[in-house]
Chain A
Amino acid sequence: MLKNFSKESLWLPKNEQLHITFAHVISPDSKYKIDRTKLWKDLHPEVKRALEEITKKPLNIEVQFNELLSFQASIIVKGYDNGSYDKLRNKFIKLFNLPDESRRPPNIIHATVARFRNELPFDNVKTVTDGIGVSFTDSTQKLQLIHEEKIFVQSHSVISSFPRE
């Protein structure tokens, strides 16, 4: 079914780009009153401490992915856990001063598996996902604080991993 889409209209992330977004610290698409470089310099120590705090106990969050959802701009796999993601995300943003302009953490667990160049008619998108059953379990054992250099985490550098390796 993917053959029905041109290279120009559909993009599939490479394996190493697959991730669950845990939380934004400085959102790529938000405008800030303070210069980003200065903001990051100020935030980095407290964000690091917050991540150290929430990963004091080893992470071992089992996520069951069992839904493939189509949207006009993307396709995602949605997962479910025992509530650990929600608790950790809420704890994380209470441990430092998350800028008002930054996106709040997502309230779902998902990984984006395809993106469309332009918003396509929904029926076209549905043809990709109709009839595909998804079922796999992933175990989250580490979080990475990254600097995204190209949108959709196509290019990024890992600043630190937590728990510390």
Chain B
Amino acid sequence: MAESNKPIDHPLEYTIPSEFESKSDGFIVIAPLSEASKQKYTGYKRSC
């Protein structure tokens, strides 16, 4: 699914401030959070 078509969990996800639109060219190692943690995050966002 294209990123722009993914469902959103909070209205503030819609708008990315222009300062955050900067292109990047970095190589990084990350650990993605688990699906369970992402659901927790959704819950926190909705409760705030």
Residues of A within 8 A of B (CB): 1-2, 5, 7-16, 18-29, 36, 40, 43, 47, 51, 65, 92, 111, 113, 115, 117, 128, 132, 134, 136, 138-155, 159
Contact = CB atoms under 8 A, between A and B. Distances in A.
Nearest to B21: A150
A7 B15 contact: yes
Contacts of B23: 149-151
9 cross-chain pairs, A with B, having the tightest CB-CB distances, nearest first: A28-B26, A7-B15, A15-B38, A117-B17, A19-B30, A22-B29, A28-B24, A26-B27, A25-B27
B26 to A, nearest CB: 3
B28 A151 contact: no
Contact of A145 (B6, B27, B42): B27
Interface residues of B, number: 38
Contacts, number: 148
B3 A142 contact: no
Nearest to A141: B34
Nearest to A4: B48
A5 B17 CA distance: 13
Contacts of B17: 8-9, 11, 117
Contacts of A147: 25-27
A14 B6 contact: yes
Interface string B1-24: 001001011111111110111111
B21 to A, nearest CB: 7
Nearest to A135: B40
Contacts of A153: 28, 30
29 contacts: A2-B45, A2-B48, A5-B12, A7-B11, A11-B15, A14-B6, A16-B6, A16-B38, A19-B30, A21-B29, A22-B30, A92-B29, A113-B44, A117-B20, A128-B48, A136-B37, A138-B33, A138-B36, A139-B34, A140-B31, A141-B34, A142-B32, A143-B31, A148-B27, A149-B24, A149-B25, A150-B22, A150-B24, A151-B24
